[in-house]
Structure 1
């Protein structure tokens, strides 16, 4: 919306006639305060919107932290240690190599079935 110089002069003249020259500074102060309050209200609305949009991001960050923690707690050497202990026990029981291999495979498969690694959504 563009106002020409003549239109602005008519508006100023109408304000002076309607309110008088004594009231103009008071009206200007009131308008300034109103504009400041509206800007403050707009900032409050912006901050509320930013809080609402920030929540999904923080949820994603929490999920990433959970996955990182699970990855740090996972120890792949634990399976190897269990396999070696199993082989050691089987050797101590004097079983044949075929029996040892079959039992080891069964135990390894059981360990693999029990593992529930990090789940992505």
Structure 2
């Protein structure tokens, strides 16, 4: 986490406990958790805001490159067994 080891995190928490106090520390942690959650939601929303138009453009380009074939599905090529049977008849 942020390039910090377990030892460094323990020291930071211990110093925070000394300066903030044991009564305020849970409130601070709760507020920090809410803030991080809001930040993650905002980042996710921004990512979707950028990704959706890119995906739409990608789909449009794909549709232009591979136009629909009149609504018909392509039939798969016969397997080697089927082609052998048809040659025998």
The size of the alignment, in residue pairs, is 67
- Indicate which of 2, 5, 21 corresponds to 1:3: 5
TM-score by length of 1: 0.46
Q: Does 1:21 align with 2:22?
A: yes
CA distance change for structure 1 residues 8 and 51 in 2, over 3 Å: closer, same or farther? closer
Q: Partner residue of 2:46?
A: 45
Tell me the C-alpha RMSD between the 2 structures.
Answer: 2.3
Could you list the runs of 5+ residues in structure 1 that have no partner in the other structure?
A: 70-121
Could you list the runs of 5+ residues in structure 2 that have no partner in the other structure?
A: 71-89
Query: Which fold has the larger relative contact order, with Cα–Cα distance below 8 Å and residues 6 or more apart in sequence?
Result: 1
* C-alpha distance in structure 1 between counterparts of 2:28 and 2:54, whole Å: 39
Q: Partner residue of 1:35?
A: 36
CA distance change for structure 1 residues 38 and 15 in 2, over 3 Å: closer, same or farther? same
CA distance change for structure 1 residues 48 and 36 in 2, over 3 Å: closer, same or farther? same
CA distance change for structure 1 residues 9 and 57 in 2, over 3 Å: closer, same or farther? closer
Whose helix proportion is higher, 1 or 2? Answer: 1
